[in-house]
Structure 1
Amino acid sequence: MAHPTEEIPGDERGTLLLFIEDQRAAIRKTAQGLTEKQAASRPTASELSLSGLVKHATEVELNWLRLAQQRENERRRAPEQWLEGFHLGEGETLEAALALWDDVRSETEDWVAAVPSLDDTFPLPRAPWFPEDAEVSVRWMLLHLVREFARHAGHADILRESIDGTKAMG
């Protein structure tokens, strides 16, 4: 649960980062103690797996960070490869996916701490789901990550309970 600590200030930046981390942790917790096979399993009618959700959340966070930084995303996928972001590929492991997410998390937190203002904006890419020539603020991006991760934390809860009965909330 998102509680202020001495390490994370209670200002707006700290609060937003705390809520993002709370949702990251909820996803990560669902994968604890599972084998690679269990984490990659799809125990529901969905195509989602826990390891795939970890990979997807990592790539989503990195993509938004690179957009905000206005830098090229070194892990960007071509549109026809989009579904590959929802499962681990040959040679990928849950442990490595979690380690990459740690790196992305650290980079996000450092960048957010250094950005002059949460009101700073950056352009959205051309896409049918974004208005043409739209920009969003860093604040909007952080709130979007809370929403994205919260949605997938719920998916992860259902997947984990379907795998072995483990419940996130008791």
Structure 2
Amino acid sequence: MPTSRVVRRADTTPPRTGNSEHETLRAFLDYLRAAVVAKVEGAPEPQVRTAGVPSGTNLLGLLNHLTFVERSTFLGERVTDWKRTFRAPPSATVADVVAGYRAAVREANAVLDGCTDLGAPVPRPLPNDRAPSARWALTHMIEETGRHAGHADILRELIDGATGR
């Protein structure tokens, strides 16, 4: 349950940058990535990993899941059990999961930095592995990250009343 002290963050406005499609998509993805991390950082244990809804969704699990989605989408890493990605390892701290997410984002951005044609497939480590276009990958990650950022907003507010981006 939320504490009696409500923490309100100032909202961060969406990016107003990018003269190209690539710059605009990257700016919105980075904006959403930062929003999700801000919801997880500073969240108290054990509430950060306590289910806030009957499905079992929890704040730390959302960020853990997004780490796997980044690595799958941009780096071609295979995930055999998507449900499992929604649970952070019990030994992982909030700082560990945030660091893992940030590392995945850095690696994903390195791939994207090499994509000059949004219609071209993102690189894949296995040559026979079918890859989506960079445009599709960016759009999917904006949708996926935005969806889970909304979940994170609600879960964080349930934990300690913190609101805002």
**TM bracket (short chain):** 0.7 to 0.9
Residues in 1 aligned to 2:56 and 2:62: alpha-carbon distance in whole angstroms:
10
Aligned mate of 1:144, from 137, 140, 143? 140
- Normalised by the size of structure 2, how large is the TM-score? 0.79
The residue number in structure 2 matching 1:70 is none
Matches within 5 A, 1:82-93: 82-93=82-93
Residues in 1 aligned to 2:100 and 2:41: alpha-carbon distance in whole angstroms:
16
User: Do structure 1's residue 30 and structure 2's residue 39 form an aligned pair?
Assistant: yes
Q: 1:122 to 1:168 in 2, by over 3 A?
A: same
Structure 1 regions of 5+ residues with no counterpart?
Answer: 68-72, 124-132
Residues 115-166 of structure 1: per-residue CA shift (max 9 Å, x gap): 231110369xxxxxxxxx9863110110000000010011111111111122
Aligned mate of 2:80, from 61, 78, 81? 78
Query: Given residue 151 of structure 1, which amino acid in structure 2 is its aligned partner?
Result: R
Alignment partner of 2:15: what SS? coil
| 1:93 Cα deviation after fit | 1.8
Aligned mate of 2:153, from 139, 145, 157? 157
| 1:14 Cα deviation after fit | 1.8
Query: Given residue 120 of structure 1, which amino acid in structure 2 is its aligned partner?
Result: A
| 1:48 Cα deviation after fit | 0.7
User: Do structure 1's residue 97 and structure 2's residue 97 form an aligned pair?
Assistant: yes
Matches within 5 A, 1:38-49: 38-49=47-58
Residues in 2 aligned to 1:114 and 1:122: alpha-carbon distance in whole angstroms:
9
- Determine which structure has greater relative contact order: mean sequence separation of CA pairs < 8 Å that are 6+ residues apart, divided by chain length: 2
Identity among equivalent positions (%) equals 32
